[in-house]
Structure 1
Amino acid sequence: MDTGTHIVMGIALGGLATLDPVVASNPATTTSVIIATIIGSQIPDIDTVLKLRNNAVYIRNHRGVTHSIPAVILWPLVILAVLYPVFPGVNLFHLWLWTFIAVFLHVFVDIFNAYGTQALRPFTNKWVALGIINTFDPIIFSLHIVAILFWVFGANPGYTFLTLFIVLIGYYLLRIFTQLKVKRSVKKMIPDATEIILSPTMRYNHWRIAVMTEDSFYVGRSHQHEIEIYDKFHRTPVPSTPVLAAAQKDKNLSAFLSFSPVFRWEVQELEDQYQVRFIDLRYRSNGHYPFVAVVHLDLNLNIITSYTGWIFSEDKLKKKLDILTN
């Protein structure tokens, strides 16, 4: 989820914690738990700072080790080590318990996004991405804001946020049902589909669709359960040519391939260099596929420049590549 949603989820969890008699009986414990749930709901995303280095490092590592099983265990201990000296009289177990729930909830809800997490590390590095909830879901965020306002104006925080979480469980179940319904419709339209990837948008009944068959890729959208296919591409495996083999050694393309499950590729021979482009098919927007990896190589197959990330025009891509070569 986005940062704002994680923050309001942390506040909500802190309010819910007041139903715990141990937390509610001690003002210091109440305060420390609310602070801990807000921090715990944010701390797995500390790897966002990797974006300051470059997109390749960020794409390869964001929601990776910081969202793994060891991290879920260790983050609450780190938070306790910081907070307990400030609140020495609190109940240590209950402070740890609610902090752990906050960290776990952060990772758990991220699994429902199309981006996903490597939540099963170290057992597997596979990305777990259910594609049920958009990174920012306006309904989820708005429900949290309404519940927080109820708390501000005097409602009991415990029962207010308990009600909120019950409603959210129902909402998630409804989204799961809706996704299954869309998948059945896609399968009916493309019966030879071997994999169907749905990416939710901020609109409830609007989904991006990427479909793989044995020999083709299909890209489309579902709106109000009506399926529309925009593009169809022949599915060509990446061949073992010298140009593509050299390009795949590049860090940006390597990061792209570690993240993107469905893509097509292109090779262009320019005047004095090759351009290799890999295009993620999950994020079609206004007829454009903005998430790409591009590598330029000289005629001796040395990498000149490369880029991976979101690009919405060829001019911007050219500027990015020009900046990287200067």
Structure 2
Amino acid sequence: MDTGTHIVMGLALGGLATLDPVVAGSTATASSVLAATIIGSQIPDIDTVLKLRNNAVYIRNHRGITHSIPAVLLWPVLITGVIYPFNPEADLLHLWLWTFLAVFLHVFVDIFNSYGTQALRPFTCKWVALGVINTFDPFIFAIHVAGLFLWVFGSHPGYTFLAVYALIIIYYLHRFYYKGKLTKIVKEMIPDATDIIIAPTMKNHEWRIAVMTEKQFFVGRAHRVHVRILDQYSRVPVPDTPVLKAAKKDSNLSAFLSFSPVYRWEMDEFDDHYEVRFIDLRYRSNGHYPFVAVVKLDLDLNILSSYTGWIYSEEKLRKKLEFIPG
């Protein structure tokens, strides 16, 4: 989920903790738990700082080791160890328990996004992504904010957020139901589909669709249960040519390929250089595919520059390739 949602979830967990008699009976424990749930709901995303290095490092590592099983066990210990000395009257066990819940819930809800996490690491580095909730979901964020307002105006925080999370569970079940229904419809439309990716958007009833068959890619959009195929491409295997082999050595393209399960590729030859472009088909927006990896090579196949990330205009891409070294 996005940072804002994780913050309100941390506050909500602090409110929910008041149902715990140990927390409710101790001001010291309650204040420490609230601080811990806010921090615990944020700490797995500390790897966001990797974006300061470059997009390739960020794409390869975001929601990786910081969301792994060892990290989920370690973060609560570290957070509790930092908070407890400032408030030694707090109940240590319950402080740790609620911190652990905050960290676990952060990683757990991220699994439901299209991006996913490496939550099962170190047993497997496979990305777990169920793709039913958008990274920012207006309903989930709004219902948390509504609960916080009720708390401010005197509502019991524990029972308020118990109701909030009951509604969210129903909402998740509703999302799974619709995704399953759309998957069935797409299979009926494209019976030879080998892979179907149905991804949520910020709009509750809007979904992105990318389908692979042995020979084609289909890109579409769904509104409720009405599916439209918007683009169709031939599925051309990436050839083992010297230009493509050289381009794949680039860190930006390598990161893109480690992240994207469905893409098409293009190669252009100019008077003094080659340009290789890989295009993720999951994020079609207004007829444009903004998530790309581009590698620019000279005629001797040396990498001149490269870029991977979100680009919404060719002009900005040109600037990226001009100033960012490969």
- TM-score w.r.t. length of structure 2: 0.98
Query: How many residues in Structure 1 have an aligned counterpart in Structure 2?
Result: 326
Q: Distance in 1 between matches of 2:311 and 2:163?
A: 42
Deviation at 1:173, TM superposition (A): 0.6
User: What residue number does 2:165 align with?
Assistant: 165
Who is 2:59 aligned against? 59
Matches within 5 A, 1:305-324: 305-324=305-324
Give 1:154 shift: 0.5
Structure-1 residue corresponding to 2:277: 277
For 2:124 and 2:244, the matched residues in 1 are separated by: 27
1:85 alignment partner, SS class:
helix
Q: What corresponds to 2:228 in structure 1?
A: 228
Structural mapping, 1:58-137, within 5 Å: 58-137=58-137
Mapped partners of 1:194, 1:122: distance in 2: 29
**1:168-317 pair list within 5 angstroms:** 168-317=168-317
Structure 2: how far apart are the matches of 1:163 and 1:230?
Answer: 40
Aligned-residue offset at 1:325:
4.8
Give the letter for the 2:19 counterpart: L
CA-based RMSD: 1.0
Offset from partner CA, 1:4-47 (integer Å, 9 cap, x none): 00001111111001101111111000000011001000000001
Structure 1 residue runs of 5 or longer lacking an equivalent are: none
Using the alignment, how far apart are the partners of 2:325 and 2:3 within structure 1? Answer: 33
Q: What CA distance in whole angstroms lies between the structure 2 residues aligned with 1:155 and 1:73?
A: 33
Counterpart residue identity of residue 219, structure 1: V
Q: Secondary structure at the match of 1:267?
A: strand
Measure, in 2, the Cα distance between the counterparts of 1:213 and 1:324: 36
Partners of 1:248 and 1:325 lie apart in 2 by 15
Offset at 1:81? 1.4
Deviation at 1:124, TM superposition (A): 1.2
Letter in 1 for 2:217: F
- Cα shift at 1:224: 2.3
Q: Deviations over 1:131-187 (max 9, x none)?
A: 100111111111001111111001111111111111111110111101111111111
Matches of 2:167 and 2:53 in 1, distance apart? 40
Q: Secondary structure at the match of 2:230?
A: strand
Q: 2 CA distance for matches of 1:224 and 1:174?
A: 12
CA distance in 2, matches of 1:225, 1:145: 30
Unaligned 5+ segments in structure 2 are none
> For 2:143 and 2:239, how far apart are their aligned partners in 1?
49
Where does structure 1 differ by over 3 angstroms across 4 or more consecutive aligned residues?
Answer: none
Query: Normalising to structure 1: TM-score of the pair?
Result: 0.98
User: Take 2:22 and 2:237, find their aligned partners in 1: how far apart are those partners?
Assistant: 59
Q: Which letter does structure 2 place at the counterpart of 1:151?
A: W
CA distance in 2, matches of 1:130, 1:214: 23
Counting aligned pairs with the same residue, the percent is 70
- After TM superposition, give the deviation of residue 126 of structure 1 in Å: 1.1
Q: Distance in 1 between matches of 2:157 and 2:121?
A: 35
User: Structure 1: how far apart are the matches of 2:238 and 2:142?
Assistant: 44
CA distance in 1 between partners of 2:237 and 2:97 (Å): 48
Q: What's the secondary structure of 1:84's corresponding residue? A: helix
